[in-house]
Structure 1
Amino acid sequence: MRTYYFDVKDGVPTRDRKGLQFPNAVGAIEHSKELARLLRHDPRLKDRSLSIVVVDESGAEAHREAVYPDEAKSGISLTKT
């Protein structure tokens, strides 16, 4: 089992100091999706760029889950090149 940390990022990350153990990254990624779903329905949250960053025990980012995925997609800029 490996330990994965679930940092909340909205410009300045809030570090998860405890972490949770999962047999692989797939379980940790599924957990981040559930956390994002729960946070999405919290009326106290205002920052639409909020994301959950899954970090493995070596410190490498394993996944990034947008709490508000529709807002993240609409942030794409279309400019002439």
Structure 2
Amino acid sequence: MQTYYFDMKDGVPVRDRAGLEFRTDSQAIMHCKELARRFSHERLVRDDNLFVVVINESGAEIHREAVYPDTHRATSA
């Protein structure tokens, strides 16, 4: 199991200090997609530049998911 961190970014990152454990990068990415989907439905703030970013234990960004995908495309490293 590895610990993955799910930061929020809209220019200034909001760091996830606790992280969650997953067996694979793919599982962490699926969780990231679900987080972004939930945030988009809550619509607390409409910031077209808002992303959920997955950071692995080594500190490398492995995935970036747009909360509002109609304005951005998701990317994987």
Relative to the length of structure 2, the TM-score reads 0.90
**Number of aligned residue pairs:** 73
Aligned pairs (5 A) from 1:1-81: 1-73=1-73
Can you give the 5+ residue segments of structure 1 that lack an aligned partner in the other structure?
A: 74-81
3-state SS of paired residue (1:39): helix
Of structures 1 and 2, the larger Rg is shown by 1
Report the structure, 1 or 2, having the larger strand content. Answer: 2
CA deviations over 1:37-81 (Å, ceiling 9, x no partner): 0000113212111000000011000100111111125xxxxxxxx
Relative to the length of structure 1, the TM-score reads 0.86
RMSD: 0.9
Q: Which of structure 1's runs of 4+ aligned residues deviate more than 3 A? A: none
Can you give the 5+ residue segments of structure 2 that lack an aligned partner in the other structure?
A: none
Percent identity between the two aligned chains: 59
